[in-house]
Amino acid sequence: MTIELLDLPGLTHREALEPGFAAALAGVASRLGLDPNYIGAVMSLESQFDPHAVNHSGGATGLIQFMPATAVALGTTTTALAGMSAIEQLPFVEQFYAHAGKAIRPAVPGDYYMATFLPAYVGKEPSFVLARPGDPVYDQNKALDTNHDGTLTVSDVTQRIENAVAAARTRPLLTFEDAKKKSAAAPPPSSPSPAPASPSGSSSPLSGLGGAANLRNLVVFAASCHLENVQLMVQNGDPSAVAEFVATLWDDVLEHASPRTASGTRILKYPPDWCGAFALHCLHEAELAKSVKWAFGPPHYGFLYRLHTTTTPEPGDIAYLDKPWQHHAIVTDVEGDTVHTIDGNQGPKAPIKTHAAPLHHWTAFYSILPFITEVMA
């Protein structure tokens, strides 16, 4: 079979070094329901298709410039990624887009780039202001403010990939054969790799992702993405975006979504405490406990009654505090007696925070293993 792709800078060189890369990229895009040209355009802009590319100022590494925290959430490290070939990195690219790319409109190149830049703002209007001078997002990316108007908008960010795609369309398509796809696209022996979803769409896009460890890491990845995105909403002075985010949590975890007015505006009537909704939503985003909804009142509260307590929490498990208030958090790491968590409902200045506390601080830890077992069965 012949694969046709846009002539993106760096692609022919990568294919020459790793025959089968183009076909493997096309396979990733097909399983995700996305366009391989636009995923490739992100790679071309970020790394020129060089899996060993490293941004030494921030540590971003690889084809799509994985940040260190993102790499850990995907079950690897930037050091490990830097040692992989491009084909070996593709399973991690697939994992990333399976989560961060859920809102991508497949025919819109800018959405693909925004998913790697600020996933929370995929689909926003081109004029939407992401940051201004003094905000870290602006100060670190002020070169994108090409009209020097003192704002970083969605259009400023997405124009880069749109220009790259437009330029590639002026050149003839490249053709590649996938004869070497099976041998070339083998997963890295030392790193967890996702199995592709069923082409028929009968299985979840994340349900085969390499075992319990990867599923746990996806829960942490979901929490980490929300942590970063909500922090940016606060920095941008956008409380309505935070309120909409919280509403989205409750819509996901309650039996019935919030009502809307005749014009389609959501009527925001939700419990003020949403840490538990955040925890369950992160599980849902990792394709765990999808049928489980939040319950209020006896005999069961929340969703923890479906789980068993554990004295050895692992990433993705739920840390629970009963007094002085009921609180839920996602465990991200355990170092000796110290448990690291990401906690929702932490106040207007930082609605989601990272915490570190000793084991005895928490009333109990609940293992998500039963939910993982359901998915892997």
Instruction: Please state, for a pLDDT cut of 90, what percent of the chain lies above it.
Output: 49
| Distance from the first to the final alpha carbon of the chain | 34
> How sure is the predictor about 188, in pLDDT bands with cuts at 50, 70 and 90?
very low
Top-confidence residue, 60 or 110 = 110
pLDDT of 89 higher than 60: yes
Residue type, 277: A
Region of poorest pLDDT, from 93-102, 186-195, 284-293, 303-312: 186-195
Domains present along the chain, CATH in parentheses: 2-179 (1.10.530.10), 212-376 (no CATH)
| Cα–Cα separations (whole angstroms), residue 167 to 9, 50, 100, 339 | 10, 20, 26, 49
Q: What is residue 75's predicted lDDT score, i.e. its pLDDT?
A: 79
Torsion of CA 262, 265, 269, 274, to 10 degrees: 150
Instruction: Please state, for a pLDDT cut of 70, what percent of the chain lies above it.
Output: 86
CB count within 10 Å of CB 230 equals 23
Name the H helices within 48-85.
Answer: 68-73, 78-82
- Quick: pLDDT tens for 131-154: 888 876 788 788 999 889 999 999
- Report pTM: 0.61
Contact 312, 247 (CB under 8 A): no
β-bridge pairing 174-177 and 54-55: unpaired
> How sure is the predictor about 86, in pLDDT bands with cuts at 50, 70 and 90?
very high
From 312, 286, 314, select the one nearest 215 (Cα to Cα): 286
Top-confidence residue, 207 or 253 = 253
- Quick: pLDDT tens for 332-342: 888 889 999 99
- Quick: pLDDT tens for 268-278: 567 788 999 99
Burial 85-114 (b: 16+ CB within 10 A, else e): ebbbbbbbbbbbbbbbbeebeeebbbbbbb
